[in-house]
Structure 1
Amino acid sequence: MPKLLNSAFWLPVACGLASWMVGTLFPLLDVYRAQDPRPRQRHQDWSTVLRCLGAFIGLNYAALTMPWHDAPVVSISLSGMSIMQWLLFDLTLHGLVLATVSAACGTGMGWVLVRYGLYAFTEADFFGVRSWFPAIMWSGSLSLGCLAR
C-alpha cells in the first residue's frame, strides 16, 4: 500500500482509461469482424475468461519471481508465454494487432514517463524500463479483450 500512495495520483487514472479504451476496442473490432463471411472463433464463456485472467496473473507472478541474472532470456520466456496466451484464448488477427499496438504504445509511454522523470522503475534494464514490461502489457490487453467480450 505505501508504494501505491507514493505513485503520482494521475498514474492509476491514466492506466484505467487506457484499460477502458483497450477493453472497448476488442468488442468493437469483433463486431467489425462479424461482417466478414469467414468462420468465427469459438464461443467465449466465463471459464475461458477466468483461465485467461489466470494466465495474466501467472505471467505477472513469473515476472516477479524469475531470477533476473540473464534479462534477455527471461524476457524471451515471458514473451513466449504471452504468445501462448494469445494462441489459447484469442486467435484473432485483430486481437494480435491490438495487443501488439497496446504493448508498443504502453512501453513507449513508460519510456517517455521515465525519460522526463515522471516515473521510475526500481531496477530498470532496458532504456529505463523493465524488460518484462512489453510482455505484461501484451498479456494484459489480451486479458482485457477476453473479459470485455
Structure 2
Amino acid sequence: MEFKDIATVSGKPGLYKILKPSRSGVILESLDDKKGKLVVGAAQRVSLLSEISIYTLTEEGATPLKEVLVKIEEEFGGDTGLEGADKDEYQAFMKHILPEFDADRVYASDVKKLISWYHIIRRECPEVLEASSEKNASDKDKPEEDKPDENKS
C-alpha cells in the first residue's frame, strides 16, 4: 500500500484504504481489525493523507503529513509515550518533531489525531513509513552529484 491510498472521512474515526471508485462515490476499507467496507458518497468529505499538511511558520506555510509521520517513526519507532497526555505535552511533542509548526493553528486535538493516525499506519501498513525511511536514508547515503536535482526542468 502507498501513502496516497490512505484516506480519512470527515466525521468518522480512523483511517481507510481506498479500494475503488463506484458510481455513487468511493469504496473504502477501514484500517482496523474489523476491515469493514464503506461506500462514501459525494456528500461526505474524504481526504487523502497525501494531500494533508501541517501548518508551519516557514515560507512554504505547511509541511506534508507524510514527512511528519516519517520523522515520528525515525525519532520514536512506535513509542511516542503520549497515552493520556495533556495539551501541553502534545504541543511539546509537536515542537520536538516539527519545531517550525504554527502553534496558533495546530491544536492539541490535531496532534492527538496525528498520533492516532501514526499508530494505525504503523500497525496496519508499516511499509508506508519504512519505504519512506529507507528512501530518505538511501538519498542521504548518495554522493551529492548522484542525487536528482529537483530544480532542473
Larger radius of gyration: 2
Instruction: Answer 1 or 2: which has greater helix percent.
Output: 1
Structure possessing the higher relative contact order (Cα contacts under 8 Å, 6 or more residues apart): 1
Both proteins in one fold, TM over 0.5 = no
Instruction: Answer 1 or 2: which has greater strand percent.
Output: 2
When normalised by structure 2's length, the TM-score is 0.29
